Structure formats: structure tokens, C-alpha cells
Amino acid sequence: MENGEKIKNKDVTLAPHPSKRYWRFCSDTSYKESIVNEIQGVDVLYHEATFLNSS
């Protein structure tokens, strides 16, 4: 500030948001019951699949 007053960062900022857990990426997969336990609890799941309903 012009008068030399120091402003502490904690007085003008907010605490960060909690981190997201992105730790699963499923590619070219059809539904498989065994992966359910592995993907539970993630905040973001990237799941790409190219299978038709008849597969």
C-alpha cells in the first residue's frame, strides 16, 4: 500500500479447494463387474468405450 502497510496474503485469499483424485482411465472397455472396486472413490473417471450394444 502507499502508506507502507503490509497486507498478509492470508488476509486477502481463500483456502484452496481440496484436490481431486484422478487416478483411473478406462479405454476400449465394455462393462466388467471386476473393475467396480477399483474405480470406487475417484472424483473423476475418464471412460472411453467404442463397443456396440451387441458386443
Distance CA 19, CA 13 (A): 17
Distance CA 16, CA 8 (A): 16
With residue 24 as reference, give the H or E element that holds it: strand 24-27
Q: For the chain, which residues make up each domain, given as ranges?
A: 16-48
pLDDT tens track for 40-53? 887 777 777 776 66
Q: For residue 45, give the nearest of 53, 34, 35, 55 by alpha carbon.
A: 35
SS3 26: strand
On whether the pTM is more than 0.75, the answer is no
pLDDT tens track for 11-35? 999 999 888 766 677 776 677 788 8
